[in-house]
């Protein structure tokens, strides 16, 4: 497994791969890797000849007072895990490589970035889109792989690729969970032992809401139930039952339902979601 820190060295490697007509998958990460990330690497391995993982803690998606400075930086462990997972190369750029003087990004995320997570983190999706676009510009992969836990982020990335006519296939992997149902996240490392014992209740609340919906409870009554249940254990940011295909209100034509939520447990922000068909 090769580890590269400059665009020049990376593109030299990519040139060699492509001279052999090998397809490339990109798995963008911010480090602090866990089994959820590694599932994306295995998906990439299964769908292309070469897998490139990026590790870049992107400052443009963090707002004032957020956890950029304290975000887990575990590069040695990350590289060991990626080697065991048979990634072919890892790109670990500094910010001057990602955003050199004179480089600009003018894509506007639009209204879809102003709902759900975008209400409390209005900077977030523009920053994510910027980093993903830049990586795609550098690597020019055939495939890029993302997780579904950050579903709004995935939705916006897909929209950006369509809007900008970027010829990259997006693959997504379902949320990977701990044995007790907690969605895997780098930020789970922030949880105290007491908070960690409480955290799986979030997934159980979403599962009960899914069962309620399939038992013909109304969306509004379920929304009230979800908010009440969440507030017993967490600080609610949002919890919504929406059309998974457009992140809008459910209609008679909706077939795939998403329940998305964000909460705080102590100082830790947790997001989760579930999807189902009706």
- Number of helices (H), then strands (E), belonging to the chain: the values are 10, 9
* Residue with the two structure tokens 């109304």: 218
At residue 17, the pLDDT reads 98
Question: Which letter does DSSP use for residue 50 in this model?
Answer: E
pTM: 0.96
pLDDT per residue of the chain (278 residues) written in tens, 0 to 9? 999 999 999 999 999 999 999 999 999 999 999 999 999 999 999 999 999 999 999 999 999 999 999 999 999 999 999 999 999 999 999 999 999 999 999 999 999 999 999 999 999 999 999 999 999 999 999 999 999 999 999 999 999 999 999 999 999 999 999 999 999 999 999 999 999 999 999 999 999 999 999 999 999 999 999 999 999 999 999 999 999 999 999 999 999 999 999 999 999 999 999 999 98
Q: Which CATH architecture has domain 186-272?
A: 2-Layer Sandwich (3.30)
Return the domain boundaries, the chain: 2-173, 186-272
Provide the CB-side half-sphere exposure for 127 (13 A, CA).
Answer: 15
With beta carbons less than 8 A apart as the criterion, state whether 230 and 263 touch.
yes
Give me the helices (H) in the chain, please. Answer: 7-19, 35-47, 75-84, 95-98, 117-120, 124-139, 151-163, 193-198, 201-214, 219-233
Interacting residues of 136 by C-beta distance below 8 A, sequence separation 6+: 26, 144, 166, 168
At residue 223, the pLDDT reads 96
Query: What are the structure tokens assigned to 37, written together?
Result: 């990330």
At residue 115, the pLDDT reads 97
At residue 7, the pLDDT reads 98
Measured distance CA(40)–CA(8) in Å, rounded: 26
At residue 67, the pLDDT reads 96
- CATH class of the 2-173 domain in this structure: alpha beta
Helix or strand run (H / E) with residue 249:
none
Catalytic residue selected from 37, 123, 227, 233 = 37
Could you confirm whether 37 is annotated as catalytic?
yes
Query: What are the structure tokens assigned to 134, written together?
Result: 């830049």
Burial of 164 (0-12, 13-18, 19+ CB in 10 A): exposed
HEC string of 181-234? Answer: CCECCHHHHHCCHHHHHHCCHHHHHHHHHHHHHHCCCCHHHHHHHHHHHHHHHC
């Amino acid at each position: 497994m090769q580890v590269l820190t400059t665009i020049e060295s990376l593109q030299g490697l990519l040139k060699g791969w492509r001279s052999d007509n090998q397809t490339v998958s990109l798995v963008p990460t911010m480090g602090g890797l866990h089994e959820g990330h590694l599932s994306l690497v295995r998906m990439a391995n299964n769908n292309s000849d070469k897998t490139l993982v990026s590790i870049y803690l992107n400052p443009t998606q963090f707002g004032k007072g957020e956890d950029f400075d304290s975000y887990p930086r575990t590069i040695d462990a990350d590289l060991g895990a990626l080697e065991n997972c048979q990634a072919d190369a890892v790109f670990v750029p500094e910010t001057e490589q990602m955003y050199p003087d004179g480089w600009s990004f003018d894509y506007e995320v639009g209204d879809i970035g102003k709902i759900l997570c975008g209400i409390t983190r209005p900077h977030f999706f523009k920053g994510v889109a910027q980093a993903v676009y830049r990586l795609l510009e550098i690597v020019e992969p055939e495939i890029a792989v993302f997780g579904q836990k950050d579903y709004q982020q995935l939705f916006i990335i897909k929209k950006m690729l369509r809007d900008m006519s970027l010829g990259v296939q997006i693959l997504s992997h379902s949320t990977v969970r701990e044995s007790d149902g907690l969605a895997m996240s780098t930020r789970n490392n922030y949880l105290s032992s007491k908070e960690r014992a409480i955290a799986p209740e979030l997934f159980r609340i979403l599962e009960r809401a899914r069962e309620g919906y399939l038992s013909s409870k109304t969306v509004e009554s379920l929304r009230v139930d979800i908010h009440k249940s969440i507030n017993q254990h967490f600080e609610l940011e949002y919890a919504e039952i929406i059309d998974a295909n457009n992140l809008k209100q459910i209609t008679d034509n909706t077939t795939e339902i998403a329940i998305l939520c964000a909460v705080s447990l102590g100082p830790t922000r947790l997001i989760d979601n579930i999807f189902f068909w009706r």
